[in-house]
Protein backbone atom coordinates (compact mmCIF):
# COMPACT_ATOMS: atom_id res chain seq x y z
CA UNK A 1 0.00 0.00 0.00
CA UNK A 2 1.30 3.47 -0.90
CA UNK A 3 1.03 5.99 1.89
CA UNK A 4 0.45 9.61 0.84
CA UNK A 5 1.25 12.30 3.39
CA UNK A 6 -1.03 15.23 2.66
CA UNK A 7 0.28 17.42 5.47
CA UNK A 8 1.28 20.94 4.18
CA UNK A 9 4.65 20.69 5.93
CA UNK A 10 5.44 17.55 3.95
CA UNK A 11 4.78 19.36 0.69
CA UNK A 12 7.01 22.27 1.73
CA UNK A 13 9.81 19.90 2.68
CA UNK A 14 9.51 18.07 -0.62
CA UNK A 15 9.64 21.40 -2.44
CA UNK A 16 12.82 22.40 -0.65
CA UNK A 17 14.44 19.04 -1.33
CA UNK A 18 13.45 19.27 -4.99
CA UNK A 19 14.88 22.79 -5.23
CA UNK A 20 18.13 21.64 -3.63
CA UNK A 21 18.33 18.77 -6.13
CA UNK A 22 17.85 21.13 -9.06
CA UNK A 23 20.53 23.50 -7.71
CA UNK A 24 22.94 20.58 -7.21
CA UNK A 25 22.24 19.38 -10.74
CA UNK A 26 22.90 22.80 -12.25
CA UNK A 27 26.12 23.28 -10.28
CA UNK A 28 27.38 19.76 -11.05
CA UNK A 29 27.38 20.56 -14.77
CA UNK A 30 28.83 24.01 -14.31
CA UNK A 31 25.57 25.90 -14.80
CA UNK A 32 26.17 28.40 -12.00
CA UNK A 33 24.11 31.05 -13.77
CA UNK A 34 21.18 28.64 -14.10
CA UNK A 35 21.36 27.74 -10.41
CA UNK A 36 21.41 31.40 -9.42
CA UNK A 37 18.43 32.12 -11.63
CA UNK A 38 16.50 29.19 -10.16
CA UNK A 39 17.22 30.31 -6.62
CA UNK A 40 16.04 33.82 -7.55
CA UNK A 41 12.76 32.49 -8.93
CA UNK A 42 12.16 30.22 -5.92
CA UNK A 43 13.17 32.53 -3.12
CA UNK A 44 13.20 36.06 -4.56
CA UNK A 45 15.89 38.60 -3.79
CA UNK A 46 16.01 39.70 -0.17
CA UNK A 47 17.48 43.11 0.59
CA UNK A 48 18.59 43.66 4.19
CA UNK A 49 17.62 46.73 6.21
CA UNK A 50 20.16 49.54 6.19
CA UNK A 51 19.23 50.35 9.79
CA UNK A 52 17.68 47.33 11.58
CA UNK A 53 17.58 48.85 15.05
CA UNK A 54 13.83 49.41 15.48
CA UNK A 55 12.97 45.86 16.56
CA UNK A 56 11.63 45.78 20.15
CA UNK A 57 11.92 49.58 20.36
CA UNK A 58 9.49 52.47 20.81
CA UNK A 59 9.76 54.76 17.79
CA UNK A 60 8.34 58.24 17.24
CA UNK A 61 7.81 59.27 13.61
CA UNK A 62 7.76 62.96 12.75
CA UNK A 63 7.33 64.29 9.21
CA UNK A 64 8.18 67.93 8.60
CA UNK A 65 6.83 69.48 5.38
CA UNK A 66 6.92 73.12 4.31
CA UNK A 67 3.66 73.88 6.12
CA UNK A 68 4.51 71.99 9.31
CA UNK A 69 6.20 74.98 10.92
CA UNK A 70 2.81 76.67 11.27
CA UNK A 71 0.87 73.76 12.72
CA UNK A 72 -0.35 70.27 11.88
CA UNK A 73 -0.86 69.61 8.16
CA UNK A 74 -2.55 66.77 6.33
CA UNK A 75 0.42 65.87 4.12
CA UNK A 76 2.87 65.39 7.00
CA UNK A 77 0.39 63.39 9.05
CA UNK A 78 -0.50 61.19 6.07
CA UNK A 79 3.15 60.32 5.44
CA UNK A 80 3.87 59.65 9.12
CA UNK A 81 0.86 57.36 9.45
CA UNK A 82 1.68 55.51 6.22
CA UNK A 83 5.30 54.93 7.27
CA UNK A 84 4.10 53.80 10.72
CA UNK A 85 1.80 51.20 9.16
CA UNK A 86 4.53 49.85 6.88
CA UNK A 87 7.05 49.61 9.72
CA UNK A 88 4.47 47.96 11.96
CA UNK A 89 3.72 45.37 9.28
CA UNK A 90 7.37 44.50 8.69
CA UNK A 91 9.23 44.85 12.00
CA UNK A 92 8.57 42.49 14.88
CA UNK A 93 7.56 43.99 18.21
CA UNK A 94 8.08 47.59 17.17
CA UNK A 95 6.13 50.02 19.35
CA UNK A 96 5.20 53.11 17.35
CA UNK A 97 4.23 56.28 19.21
CA UNK A 98 0.67 57.28 18.18
CA UNK A 99 0.57 60.40 16.01
CA UNK A 100 -1.95 61.95 18.39
CA UNK A 101 0.58 61.77 21.21
CA UNK A 102 3.21 63.51 19.06
CA UNK A 103 0.68 66.19 18.03
CA UNK A 104 -0.19 66.82 21.69
CA UNK A 105 3.50 67.33 22.49
CA UNK A 106 3.88 69.70 19.53
CA UNK A 107 0.80 71.68 20.61
CA UNK A 108 2.42 72.35 23.96
CA UNK A 109 6.00 72.89 22.75
CA UNK A 110 5.47 74.55 19.37
CA UNK A 111 5.24 73.52 15.72
CA UNK A 112 8.48 75.09 14.56
CA UNK A 113 11.64 73.01 14.27
CA UNK A 114 11.32 70.87 17.41
CA UNK A 115 14.16 69.76 19.61
CA UNK A 116 14.13 66.09 18.65
CA UNK A 117 15.85 65.10 21.85
CA UNK A 118 13.15 66.78 23.93
CA UNK A 119 10.43 65.29 21.73
CA UNK A 120 11.86 61.81 22.22
CA UNK A 121 11.94 62.27 25.97
CA UNK A 122 8.47 63.77 26.00
CA UNK A 123 6.85 60.76 24.30
CA UNK A 124 9.14 58.20 25.96
CA UNK A 125 10.65 57.01 22.65
CA UNK A 126 13.82 55.00 22.12
CA UNK A 127 14.25 56.48 18.64
CA UNK A 128 12.86 59.49 16.80
CA UNK A 129 12.55 59.06 13.03
CA UNK A 130 12.42 62.49 11.37
CA UNK A 131 11.34 62.74 7.73
CA UNK A 132 11.89 66.14 6.12
CA UNK A 133 9.92 66.78 2.94
CA UNK A 134 10.56 69.65 0.54
CA UNK A 135 9.51 70.67 -2.98
CA UNK A 136 6.54 68.29 -2.96
CA UNK A 137 4.30 68.08 -6.02
CA UNK A 138 2.44 65.60 -8.21
CA UNK A 139 2.18 67.44 -11.54
CA UNK A 140 4.40 67.82 -14.56
CA UNK A 141 2.61 70.34 -16.72
CA UNK A 142 -1.16 70.19 -17.08
CA UNK A 143 -1.50 66.73 -18.62
CA UNK A 144 0.98 64.54 -16.72
CA UNK A 145 1.00 63.32 -13.14
CA UNK A 146 4.50 62.77 -11.76
CA UNK A 147 5.20 62.69 -8.03
CA UNK A 148 8.35 64.48 -6.90
CA UNK A 149 9.84 65.58 -3.59
CA UNK A 150 13.13 65.94 -1.78
CA UNK A 151 13.41 63.63 1.22
CA UNK A 152 15.83 63.70 4.14
CA UNK A 153 15.76 61.03 6.87
CA UNK A 154 17.41 61.17 10.29
CA UNK A 155 17.15 58.76 13.22
CA UNK A 156 17.90 60.03 16.72
CA UNK A 157 18.82 57.54 19.46
CA UNK A 158 17.34 58.66 22.77
CA UNK A 159 19.36 56.02 24.62
CA UNK A 160 22.57 57.63 23.33
CA UNK A 161 21.87 61.24 24.32
CA UNK A 162 19.86 61.93 21.17
CA UNK A 163 22.73 61.21 18.81
CA UNK A 164 22.00 60.82 15.09
CA UNK A 165 22.61 57.13 14.32
CA UNK A 166 21.27 57.01 10.77
CA UNK A 167 21.02 59.73 8.14
CA UNK A 168 20.06 59.72 4.49
CA UNK A 169 19.65 62.47 1.91
CA UNK A 170 18.37 64.85 0.95
CA UNK A 171 17.49 62.70 -2.06
CA UNK A 172 15.04 63.42 -4.83
CA UNK A 173 12.21 60.92 -5.00
CA UNK A 174 10.40 60.85 -8.35
CA UNK A 175 7.76 58.28 -9.18
CA UNK A 176 6.84 57.11 -11.72
CA UNK A 177 9.86 58.23 -13.74
CA UNK A 178 7.91 58.56 -16.99
CA UNK A 179 4.86 60.12 -15.39
CA UNK A 180 1.27 59.12 -15.97
CA UNK A 181 -1.30 60.81 -18.23
CA UNK A 182 -3.80 62.78 -16.17
CA UNK A 183 -6.71 61.29 -18.10
CA UNK A 184 -5.90 57.84 -16.63
CA UNK A 185 -6.44 58.78 -12.98
CA UNK A 186 -7.99 61.36 -10.71
CA UNK A 187 -5.65 63.71 -8.84
CA UNK A 188 -6.72 62.29 -5.49
CA UNK A 189 -6.12 58.69 -6.57
CA UNK A 190 -2.72 59.49 -8.05
CA UNK A 191 -1.61 61.38 -4.94
CA UNK A 192 -2.60 58.43 -2.74
CA UNK A 193 -0.59 56.16 -5.07
CA UNK A 194 2.49 58.40 -4.92
CA UNK A 195 2.38 58.82 -1.14
CA UNK A 196 2.06 55.06 -0.67
CA UNK A 197 5.14 54.54 -2.82
CA UNK A 198 7.01 57.31 -0.98
CA UNK A 199 6.18 55.71 2.37
CA UNK A 200 7.45 52.36 1.06
CA UNK A 201 10.68 54.04 -0.03
CA UNK A 202 11.21 55.49 3.46
CA UNK A 203 10.19 52.41 5.43
CA UNK A 204 12.29 49.89 3.53
CA UNK A 205 15.50 51.45 4.88
CA UNK A 206 14.48 49.95 8.23
CA UNK A 207 13.28 46.45 7.31
CA UNK A 208 14.31 43.71 4.92
CA UNK A 209 12.24 43.30 1.78
CA UNK A 210 11.97 41.29 -1.41
CA UNK A 211 12.80 43.44 -4.43
CA UNK A 212 10.56 41.30 -6.63
CA UNK A 213 7.60 42.11 -4.38
CA UNK A 214 8.39 45.82 -4.65
CA UNK A 215 8.35 45.59 -8.45
CA UNK A 216 5.02 43.75 -8.36
CA UNK A 217 3.61 46.39 -6.01
CA UNK A 218 4.65 49.18 -8.37
CA UNK A 219 2.94 47.39 -11.25
CA UNK A 220 -0.26 46.89 -9.25
CA UNK A 221 -0.39 50.51 -8.08
CA UNK A 222 -0.07 51.73 -11.64
CA UNK A 223 -3.19 49.87 -12.85
Per residue in 200-222, pLDDT (tens digit) is 999 999 999 887 765 555 555 45
Query: What's the 3-state SS for the chain?
Result: CCCCCCCHHHHHHHHHHHHHHHHHHHHHCCCHHHHHHHHHHHHCCEECCCCCCCCCCEEEEEEECHHHHHCCCHHHHHHHHHHHHHHHHHCCCCEECCHHHHHHHHHHHCCCCCCHHHHHHHCCCCEEEEEEEEEEEEEECCCEEEEEEEEEEEEEEHHHCCEEEEEEEEEEEEEEEEEEEHHHCCHHHHHHHHHHHHHHHHHCCCCCEEHHHHHHHHHHHCC
pLDDT single digits (tens) 110-139: 877 788 999 999 999 999 999 999 999 999
Under the banding of pLDDT at 50, 70 and 90, the label for residue 30 is very low
pTM passes above 0.85: no
Q: Give the best-scoring range by mean pLDDT among 75-79, 156-160, 219-223.
A: 156-160
Over residues 165-172, mean pLDDT = 95
- CATH 3.40.50.10610 is held by the domain 58-221: yes
Amino acid sequence: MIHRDNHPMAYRMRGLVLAACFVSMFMSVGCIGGAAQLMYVLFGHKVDAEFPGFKDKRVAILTMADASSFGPDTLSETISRAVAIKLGNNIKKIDIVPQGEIADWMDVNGWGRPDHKELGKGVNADFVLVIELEDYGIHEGKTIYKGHSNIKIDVYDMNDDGRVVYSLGPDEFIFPRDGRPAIESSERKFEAFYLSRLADSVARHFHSFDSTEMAAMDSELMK
